[in-house]
């Protein structure tokens, strides 16, 4: 079996695949057209979120048997077409949960205490003691939208810090939410009651722009809004209308990455907004877990072929 890796991955993944008898070609950043030219010689394609793994790319892999996403989300893959062609689709859903959840908690602290602004002012020579009065997390209500692995991890951390937990999910997760003292509620109720709203949903036709001109007005004035899931679940135009009345916004994802259009510059430059460049899973520990989990999943898939 031969694997083509077209994005930057941990050396641990490469070594694990080689130890499992896979011939590996490592070409991080390989352009789309070059991927299409090269893929005919490989049975396995390993990728991240940079390229859309479209019908066109899939068809260029005459011998393609496995699509392996170095990460969690599969929204950049034409899943239906790949399945129709009998191609296995693999990811590593467990690896980044802790790292993303920790980032979300960090966002809450930063927004509640105006840390970005305060640190920037001190670096610029000011000493703004007494200028910013923050908020504690303790006793506040966090609304977790999407109670999967990352949503659960975020909820556990928030609960340990004294936050009340509300959760929304399309499936019944009452028992899991109640296990940490929380409550499963409809989305509309969660948005109305929460002091902090954190999105943890996959991108699907149902979640596309789920935060929009109908749902944003339900959020109370002064609430914090966090998205570390997928950029496209938030309608950026609608978000922009509500920035002034929200307490703060933290985004690890945008509808356009990297941002080029003016609307994203407006969001990023707003004083209440913190944006990071999709770094949720970018810790050494998450990368090691990801490499191990994905390598094991690939080797198991190879055995089943």
Residue 62 known to be catalytic: no
* C-alpha to C-alpha distance for 132 and 238, rounded to whole angstroms: 28
* C-alpha to C-alpha distance for 211 and 61, rounded to whole angstroms: 37
* C-alpha to C-alpha distance for 88 and 65, rounded to whole angstroms: 6
Distance from first CA to last CA of the chain, Å, rounded? 11
Closest C-alpha among 298, 304, 303, 287 to residue 90: 298
Q: Which of 69, 230, 255, 289 is catalytic?
A: 230
> Cis omega before residue 258 (within 30°)?
yes
Q: Which of 2, 257, 265, 300 is catalytic?
A: 257
* C-alpha to C-alpha distance for 210 and 235, rounded to whole angstroms: 8
Measure CA 191 to chain center. Answer: 20
Residue 230 known to be catalytic: yes
Specify whether the CB–CB gap between 45 and 24 falls below 8 A. no
92 to 114, 122, 273, 292: CA distances (angstroms): 34, 41, 30, 9
Residue 33 known to be catalytic: no
Dmax (CA) of the chain: 65
* C-alpha to C-alpha distance for 38 and 33, rounded to whole angstroms: 9
Q: Which of 255, 278, 289, 293 is catalytic?
A: 278
* C-alpha to C-alpha distance for 249 and 181, rounded to whole angstroms: 26
Q: Supply the angle between the helices 97-112 and 284-304 in degrees, to the nearest 10.
A: 150
Give catalytic residue positions. 230, 257, 278
């Amino acid at each position: 079996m031969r694997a083509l890796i077209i994005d930057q991955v941990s050396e641990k993944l490469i070594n694990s695949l080689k130890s499992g008898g896979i011939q590996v070609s490592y070409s991080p950043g390989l352009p789309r057209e070059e991927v299409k030219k090269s893929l005919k010689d490989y049975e396995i394609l390993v990728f991240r979120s940079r390229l859309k793994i479209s019908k066109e790319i899939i068809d260029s892999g005459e011998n393609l048997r496995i699509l392996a996403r170095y990460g969690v989300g599969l929204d950049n893959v034409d899943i239906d077409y790949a399945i129709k062609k009998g191609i296995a689709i693999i990811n590593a859903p467990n690896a980044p949960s802790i790292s993303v959840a920790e980032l979300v908690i960090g966002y809450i602290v930063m927004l509640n205490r105006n840390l970005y602004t305060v640190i920037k002012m001190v670096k610029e020579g000011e000493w703004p003691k007494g200028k910013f009065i923050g908020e504690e997390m303790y006793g506040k209500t966090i609304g977790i939208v999407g109670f999967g692995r990352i949503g659960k991890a975020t909820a556990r951390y928030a609960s340990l810090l004294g936050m009340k937990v509300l959760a929304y999910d399309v499936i019944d997760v009452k028992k899991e939410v109640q296990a940490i003292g929380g409550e499963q509620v409809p989305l509309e109720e969660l948005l109305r009651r929460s002091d902090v709203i954190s999105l943890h949903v996959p991108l699907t036709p149902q979640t596309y722009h789920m935060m929009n001109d109908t749902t944003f007005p339900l959020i109370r004035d002064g609430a914090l809004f966090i998205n570390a899931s997928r950029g496209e679940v938030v309608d950026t135009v609608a978000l922009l209308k509500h920035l002034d009345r929200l307490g703060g916004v933290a985004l690890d994802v945008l509808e356009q990455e990297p941002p080029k259009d003016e609307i994203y510059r407006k969001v990023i430059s707003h004083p209440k907004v913190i944006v990071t460049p999709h770094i949720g899973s970018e810790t050494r520990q998450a990368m090691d877990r990801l490499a191990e989990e994905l390598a094991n999943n690939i080797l198991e898939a190879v055995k089943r072929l």
